[in-house]
């Protein structure tokens, strides 16, 4: 099972651009509405219009913050990670897979889980993207893994559980 591809990196980068476009559109719409509200200010409705302008501008800003935190930043980190892993020299190893360790967040990157591959030469410490953990074969399964430095980029089950 191959985990990384150039097409997925392109898809992630398109998702980042779509998020940026949506954020710019949200800010543009909120600015236009605020300008229209400011143009309709009269003496009798000054405080009401001020409240509406504050509400609309806050709504636009929070839309951008949510887009950034929930769409743009995770997609950008994933794309940078995948592009980096695809750029590294590929390798492979065969052995018995151990249970994944506790998931940790790499600084300014993605969530990773440590996995050990027991090879005839000794244990080989590897890392896997946490979003692929559910598709990982069960612990004790004999596998051939493809690697990019210390990251698992794919695997093939070569035998039953040891």
pLDDT in tens, 17-38: 999 999 999 999 999 999 999 9
Q: Which two tokens stand for residue 147?
A: 């690697």
pLDDT in tens, 68-119: 999 999 999 999 999 999 999 889 999 999 988 899 998 888 999 999 999 9
Q: Which two tokens stand for residue 142?
A: 């004999």
Q: How many angstroms from the chain centroid is the CA of residue 36?
A: 38
Q: Where do the structural domains in the chain lie, given as residue ranges?
A: 6-87, 90-161
Say which CATH class 90-161 falls into: mainly beta
Q: What is the dihedral of CA 33, 35, 40, 44, to 10 degrees?
A: 100
């Amino acid at each position: 099972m191959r985990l990384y591809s150039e097409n997925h990196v392109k898809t992630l980068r398109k998702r980042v651009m779509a998020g940026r476009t949506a954020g710019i559109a949200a800010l543009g719409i909120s600015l236009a509405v605020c300008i229209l509200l400011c143009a309709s200010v009269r003496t009798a409705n000054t405080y009401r219009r001020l409240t509406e302008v504050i509400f609309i501008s806050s709504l636009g800003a929070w839309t951008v913050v949510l887009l950034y935190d929930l769409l743009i930043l995770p997609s950008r980190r994933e794309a940078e990670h995948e592009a980096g892993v695809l750029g590294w020299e590929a390798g492979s190893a065969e052995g018995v897979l151990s249970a994944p360790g506790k998931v940790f967040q790499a600084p300014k990157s993605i969530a990773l889980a440590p996995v050990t591959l027991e090879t005839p030469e000794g244990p080989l410490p590897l890392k896997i993207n946490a979003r692929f953990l559910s598709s990982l074969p069960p612990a004790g399964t004999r596998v051939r893994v493809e690697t990019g430095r210390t990251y698992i980029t794919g695997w093939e089950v070569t035998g039953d559980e040891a």
